[in-house]
A and B are shown apart, each in its own frame.
Chain A
Amino acid sequence: DSGVTQTPKHLITATGQRVTLRCSPRSGDLSVYWYQQSLDQGLQFLIQYYNGEERAKGNILERFSAQQFPDLHSELNLSSLELGDSALYFCASSVASGGTYEQYFGPGTRLTVT
């Protein structure tokens, strides 16, 4: 158990809908990362927050957004869902940012868009 929790574990929704994925980092970790893992694209970095502020952005679609709240939990919002958004979404956390800080991954949320 990495100490990172993600909810829900599974999510099935229809195209065009909007969903919110939630992540609670390990106690004391200030940095949260979101990754998408799909069969054809592998593991891809989406976005990073550090202590409530956006720190780095990857190949995140404009339909996707994220935020980190004062209690350090984070949410990833996916809107106007398409079939291709079906994937595993992982959250990771680390104690700090900008160095060789180990990222601890949560168990993931499996999103299925039908």
Chain B
Amino acid sequence: GESVGLHLPTLSVQEGDNSIINCAYSNSASDYFIWYKQESGKGPQFIIDIRSNMDKRQGQRVTVLLNKTVKHLSLQIAATQPGDSAVYFCAETLLPTDKLIFGTGTRLQVFP
């Protein structure tokens, strides 16, 4: 079933290409950021996180970049696969609270 809104910004990429999903966060004091992936009919799933004392963090096929000057976060997915099709959310928080503030989300569509 439909999990999220129908009017999300959408990024369409071809299978095998790299994807870049952007997020503008709201609070300049936020010091911990997380990217989540939400597939249709499921709850959000943790992808990668980064603390504000870092500019870049790499995981398996994913990289998160943080630019605190302009309050911008990006998620790069290398060699995008059909299974990457989902809605991607960034979230921010100010430690030590656990209260996550989510962005509006971006829908990633991967076509063959």
Contact = CB atoms under 8 A, between A and B. Distances in A.
Interface residues of A, number: 32
Contact of A2 (B3, B45, B96): B45
Interface residues of B, number: 26
Interface string A71-114: 00000000000000000101010100111111111111010000
Given A39-B6, A42-B102, A42-B105, A98 B43 contact: no
Nearest to B102: A43
Chain B, interface SS category = loop
Contacts of A90: 43-44
Contacts, number: 68
A64 interface: no
Contact of A100 (B1, B95, B105): B95
B76 interface: no
Q: Which of A31, A39, A88, A100 has the most CB of B within 10 A?
A: A100
Interface in A31-51: 31, 33, 37, 39-40, 42-45, 48
A107 B43 contact: yes
Interface in A20-35: 31, 33
A16 interface: no
B97 to A, nearest CB: 6
B5 A39 contact: yes
A33 B44 CA distance: 13
A107 B42 contact: yes
Interface of A: 2, 4, 31, 33, 37, 39-40, 42-45, 48, 55-56, 58, 88, 90, 92, 94, 97-108, 110
